[in-house]
């Protein structure tokens, strides 16, 4: 008997339930569905199940491919209807080269995007003819499909909501694929969904304490997790003047959410992940223009990515020690807001002259990275933030900006980006960048003269990083929110950084 193993996850947010697609794995059985997806690396001949489907259609599938403009370009799709006995057959191009981990996700996402939304019919994805060296390739395809099936329609009418799709991924290794997906990759998708949800919510719904409560709920039943929340009283105790300063213009007090996961069998130093969490960024007294300000609800994307990564790693029980430090504040103009020209004193004792209240992300990171180092003595620190428009102008939406102090570490991070599917590109950190942030009345300024804004932002954060600590700075301002669909995500929040940081964790436990 053909064995089908199913797995479905849901994420609960208040009264709203957002569901991941219903993913099952099975041995190859073409009778399970009359809506099929097959992969092709040639338009002249078909392999494996694609060849079998062609035989079942009396050669109509291959004839249709040849007569159409179907190509084998990676992620390209072409759908054919009425090829008896199937209602619908979609072919997805894989290219000629062996497929990588991220490319498997891409073709899985392309496959699901080509199928009808809200379809009641089960979609069968046939994966037995792929050229790849990746173990459990079917599970990575399922992950890509699940990532692409994301919808944020919480605030739409009931009849306008999109139901998650139902799919069966068929292969010759269904049990192994099920174990990999259920025990690992589905948790990673859940973390990505969390990050996307948080960045998609209106600023009215997500403020510092609301962020804390929603994330805390998701960790209730996960082992080896300790959560601490620093409120204003504790921040004052630690003299976190930068974080307090950014948040003092809002009716919502700032918070610092700390998620500690101790999954290793020893007391080894953790990896620290620090994410910028500006729950809404008006620019403060240095008020932004109205055009596009609505998108500043996603200025917490770095924080959301850290929360999503922590959720993924802890849920699968990874053998690693990991800590997520998430500073949260709402940057608002008011009679209590900080002004340009003000001076803030950080936890480190370093004073910062405020040149622009809209350069606030580096301020809250200053106290957060100092706290992470002093409290946890990490083996590595990664900070992630929607930090600068300069990163967008330099790298557009193809790459996140990457700054380290070590070229070997830079190269390793670029490799991780290629593997994970979230690419990074290095930006410089020159001694002159530190000169540019010298202040005549304080230790440093929060922005400097000249054009290299992304590097200047990194230099401010670097001022608070111990020089002998492996440090990775990620500026995701250009990649966290896209206006067009990509293979693994609909337009909107990408949840960028969850896959990258998750891959970093995987590499550091090998």
Please check whether residues 127 and 155 belong to one and the same domain.
yes
The CA distance from 355 to 446, in Å, is 6
| Of 154, 239, 288, 412, catalytic | 288
pLDDT computed for residue 265 by the predictor: 82
Identify whether 259 is part of a domain: yes
- Residue among 447, 476, 250 nearest 382 (CA): 476
Same domain assignment for residues 318 and 398? yes
What is the pLDDT, as a whole number, of residue 118? 66
Q: Are residues 198 and 168 in the same domain?
A: no
Q: Which of 144, 175, 206 is the last residue of a domain?
A: 175
Residues 146 and 294 in one domain: no
Q: Are residues 318 and 222 in the same domain?
A: yes
Q: Nearest Cα to 38, choosing from 128, 116, 140, 100?
A: 128
Q: Which residue has the tokens 């400097």?
A: 448
- Domain count for the chain, please give it: 2
Distance CA 187, CA 122 (A): 23
Amino acid 413: pLDDT: 98
Q: Which phi and psi angles does 328 have, rounded to 5°?
A: -130, 130
Q: Catalytic one among 24, 180, 362, 370?
A: 362
pLDDT for 491:
97
Q: Are residues 307 and 454 in the same domain?
A: yes
Tell me whether residue 13 is in a domain: yes
- Taking the C-alpha atoms of residue 279 and residue 303, their distance in angstroms, rounded to an integer, is 9
* Whether 412 is catalytic: no
Same structural domain, 270 and 161: no
Tell me, yes or no, whether 189 lies in a domain.
Answer: no
- Sequence-ordered list of residues with C-beta below 8 angstroms from that of 154, at least 6 positions apart, any chain: 13, 16, 18
Whether residue 180 lies inside any domain: the answer is no
In a domain? residue 184: no
Q: What share of the chain is helix, strand, coil (3-state, %, to 5)?
A: 35, 20, 40
Instruction: Examine the domain organization and report whether 266 and 166 are in the same domain.
Output: no
pLDDT in tens, 195-221: 999 999 999 999 999 999 999 999 999
Same domain, 308 and 432: yes
pLDDT at 31: 81
Question: pTM to 2 decimals?
Answer: 0.95
371-422: per-residue pLDDT in tens? 999 999 999 999 999 999 999 999 999 999 999 999 999 999 999 999 999 9
The CATH number that applies at residue 233 is 3.40.630.10
Is 154 a residue of the active site? no
In a domain, 369, yes or no: yes
The answer to whether position 188 is within a domain reads: no
CATH code assigned at 147: 3.40.220.10
Which range marks the domain in which residue 60 is found? Answer: 4-175
219 and 138 both lie in a single domain: no
Of 142, 175, 208, the last residue of a domain is 175
Per residue of the chain (510 residues), give pLDDT as tens.
444 444 443 333 333 344 788 999 999 988 878 889 999 999 999 999 999 999 999 999 999 999 999 999 999 999 999 999 999 999 999 999 999 999 999 999 999 999 877 667 788 999 999 999 999 999 999 999 999 999 999 999 998 888 888 899 999 899 999 999 999 999 999 999 999 999 999 999 999 999 999 999 999 999 999 999 999 999 999 999 999 999 999 999 999 999 999 999 899 999 999 999 999 999 999 999 999 999 999 999 999 999 999 999 999 999 999 999 999 999 999 999 999 999 999 999 999 999 999 999 999 999 999 999 999 999 999 999 999 999 999 999 999 999 999 999 999 999 999 999 999 999 999 999 999 999 999 999 999 876 789 999 999 999 999 999 999 999 999 999 999 999 999 999 999 999 999 999 999 875
Same domain, 352 and 478: yes
Q: For the residues of 326-340, what is the DSSP string, one character each? A: EEEEEE--STTS--T
Answer yes or no: do 307 and 279 share one domain. yes
């Amino acid at each position: 008997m053909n064995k089908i193993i199913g797995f479905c996850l849901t994420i609960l947010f208040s009264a709203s339930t957002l569901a991941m697609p219903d993913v099952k794995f099975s041995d190859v059985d073409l009778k399970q569905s009359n809506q099929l997806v097959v992969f092709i690396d040639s338009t002249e001949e078909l392999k494996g199940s694609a060849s079998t489907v062609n035989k079942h259609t009396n050669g109509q599938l291959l004839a249709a491919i040849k007569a159409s403009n179907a190509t084998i370009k990676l992620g390209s799709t072409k759908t054919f209807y009425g090829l008896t006995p199937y209602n619908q057959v979609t072919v997805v191009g894989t290219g000629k080269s062996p497929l990588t981990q991220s490319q498997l996700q891409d073709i899985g996402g392309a496959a699901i995007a080509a199928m009808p939304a809200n379809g009641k019919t089960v979609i069968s994805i046939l994966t037995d003819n792929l050229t790849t060296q990746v173990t459990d390739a079917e599970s990575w395809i399922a992950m890509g499909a699940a990532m692409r099936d994301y919808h944020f329609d919480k605030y739409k009418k009931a009849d306008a909501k999109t139901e998650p799709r139902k799919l069966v991924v068929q292969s010759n290794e269904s049990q192994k694929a099920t174990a990999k997906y259920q025990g690992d990759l589905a948790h990673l998708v859940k973390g990505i969904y969390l990050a996307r949800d948080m960045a998609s919510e209106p600023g009215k719904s997500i403020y510092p304490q609301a962020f804390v409560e929603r994330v805390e709920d998701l960790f209730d039943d996960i082992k080896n997790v300790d959560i601490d929340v620093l409120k204003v009283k504790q921040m004052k105790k630690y003299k976190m003047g930068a974080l307090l300063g950014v948040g003092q213009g809002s009716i919502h007090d700032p918070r610092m959410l700390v998620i500690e996961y101790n999954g290793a069998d020893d007391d080894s130093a953790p990896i620290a992940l620090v994410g910028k969490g500006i729950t809404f960024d008006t620019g403060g007294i240095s008020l932004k223009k109205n055009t596009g300000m609505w998108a500043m609800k996603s200025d917490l994307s770095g924080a959301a990515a850290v929360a999503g990564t922590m959720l993924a790693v802890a849920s699968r029980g990874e053998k690693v020690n990991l800590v997520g430090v998430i500073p949260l504040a709402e940057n608002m103009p008011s009679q209590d807001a900080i002004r340009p020209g003000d001076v803030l004193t950080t936890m480190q004792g370093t004073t910062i002259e405020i040149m622009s209240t809209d350069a606030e992300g580096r301020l809250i990171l200053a106290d957060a990275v100092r706290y992470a180092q002093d409290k946890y003595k990490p083996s590595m620190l990664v900070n992630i933030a929607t930090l600068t428009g300069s990163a967008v102008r330099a790298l557009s939406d193809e790459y996140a900006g990457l700054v380290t102090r070590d070229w070997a570490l830079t190269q390793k991070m670029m490799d991780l980006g290629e593997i994970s599917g979230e690419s990074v590109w290095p930006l410089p950190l020159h001694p002159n960048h530190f000169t540019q942030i010298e202040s005549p009345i304080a230790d440093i300024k929060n922005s400097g003269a000249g054009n290299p804004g992304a590097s200047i932002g990194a230099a401010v954060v670097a001022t608070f990083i111990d020089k002998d600590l492996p440090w990775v700075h990620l500026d995701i301002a250009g990649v966290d929110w896209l206006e067009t669909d990509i293979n693994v995500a609909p337009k909107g929040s990408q949840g960028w950084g969850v896959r990258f940081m998750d891959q970093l964790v995987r590499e550091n436990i090998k």
